[in-house]
Chain A
Amino acid sequence: MNAVVEARRNVRVTLRVNGEQTEVLFAPYKTLLEVLREEMNLTGTKHGCELGECGACAVLLDGVPVLSCLVLAIECEGRSIETVEGLARGSELHPLQAAFADLGGTQCGYCTPGILMTAKALLDKEPDPGRERIREAISGNLCRCTGYLQIYESIEEGARRMREEAK
């Protein structure tokens, strides 16, 4: 069946964000980024270029890194959305977040949520990726502070800690 949403009328959609089902009301032209930040107050996902060029807004959709500025929120019903807010377990940082904090993987921090989510998707599939795989995975995430080296090292250290945990 075709699902039609008329123009100039808000839609009510149930979104599953970080494992939690929430009913959200928004204008159908809104991107997932806009709904996360403006309707759900999940401002961890950053608003960068709005055109798919910078990677700051990366989130996981069904486990795959995508740019939330180029996803229509109405097309996300029934799909799993993961944002940086879902990474920490209670008051304890996710091993990737802890590694970024310990190794200076973050400077201004604007690119960090997108990189953390992208790195998480990589490590969920490949627990022990080489430097080349990490470079390729985050090649769509721009960082203007670090020069990337600390980011690569942080992801490698995060991966090591996650493998330790899994033992």
Chain B
Amino acid sequence: MMRLPWFRHHAPDTLAEAARILAGEGPNAMLIAGGTDLLPNMKRRHQSPSALISLARVEGLKNISNGSGGNGEMRLGAGLTLSDVVHCAAVREKYAGLYQAAAQVATTHLRNMGTLGGNLCLDTRCNYYNQNYEWRKAIDFCMKKDGDICWVATASKRCVAVSSTDTAPALIALGAKVRLFSATGEREVTVADLYNNDGMDYLTRRPDEILTSVLLPAASGWNSSYWKLRRRGAFDFPVLGVAAAVKTASDGTVEEARIALGAVASRPFLVEKAGGLLVGKALTDDAIAEAGALVASRAKPMDNADLDIYWRKGVVSSFVGYALREIRGDDMRVTRLRIARHAL
């Protein structure tokens, strides 16, 4: 039986209060929203925060504002559950890639609990880390928690635990930003800039900051798609996530494009050159294959998650192809059913 450790528990009502408590408690305190990532980790003693500050009662974190500024932007509160995101008609309509990513996170129960902000701040994962205390003790622990060495790459100076968020690559492709709130002020950063390529220090969010919302740019002219590789259709972290967003002119010429990868590094990232490669062209089979090859060259999966790493790298170009062909308007339903094992 794995019990949670003791902690002090705060349940503030407002953001200002939450930020003040977080600043006062210091870096040993943690925020808890849905709890679906943090609580299993606390049971396995990955984290033993002195205090938990619950965001459940904080007002305003579940707001959705859809184009209220008149500029077509959409703001999603970080406290919305993943189910809220999946069931939001405007998200499905305008940001298909985000819908497809959110709908493939974990299971229905976990999506009812886990939040959008929590998925973005998801702890990095590794076969040598996501184990209980006794298991980790038996291998003398690892660099990420309680030990010195990285068992995945023993010569590595940094932890190579893998970023396993589905929504982040989708949001990076969509060009989204997040808002971070603290007792000393507020700032906005792009979702891409929220991450470091370091399995331990994986977020650029300061410990006193609260991720409060996600800002999606206007969607007109854009189409997006997300494809996830995992072992089981019902429930698994990604071992590869490919997100693409493309803005096309009425004649089908690509005006702007972004392709992002998840689960092949310690951070989700934009493959910068891939977008430029497509601009000015139509999404032909040749252009798609060229983009796929380029993106695949940037994927560096490590042997610390499920499935064979060479195969995980080998299918990247195919997954880029699925995403871009879906954006082009091809009927991908059969392929989607084969890969995701449900309709999306």
Contact = CB atoms under 8 A, between A and B. Distances in A.
A2 interface: yes
Interface residues of B, number: 37
Interface in B290-344: 342
Looking at A2, A66, A140, which has the most chain B CB atoms within 10 Å of its CB? Answer: A2
Contacts of A51: 2, 40, 43
Given A75-B54, A140-B106, A29 B2 contact: no
A50 B41 CA distance: 11
A29 B235 contact: no
Contacts of B51: 7
Contact of B109 (A6, A34, A58, A132): A58
A64 B108 CA distance: 10
B76 to A, nearest CB: 19
A113 interface: no
B107 A55 contact: yes
Given A50-B1, A66-B113, A136-B108, A75 B40 contact: no
A126 interface: no
Interface in A21-42: 27-31, 34
Interface in A128-160: 132, 136-137, 139-140
Interface residues of A, number: 37
Contact of A29 (B3, B10, B83, B109): B3
A3 interface: yes
Contacts of A53: 235
Nearest to B5: A29
Contacts of B109: 52, 55, 58, 65-67, 118, 140
B110 interface: yes
B21 interface: yes
Interface of B: 1-13, 17, 21, 32, 35-36, 39-40, 43, 50-52, 54, 56, 83, 106-110, 112-113, 234-235, 342
19 contacts: A2-B12, A2-B13, A5-B9, A28-B6, A29-B5, A29-B6, A31-B4, A34-B3, A50-B40, A51-B2, A51-B40, A52-B39, A55-B107, A64-B83, A66-B112, A67-B109, A70-B113, A75-B56, A139-B107
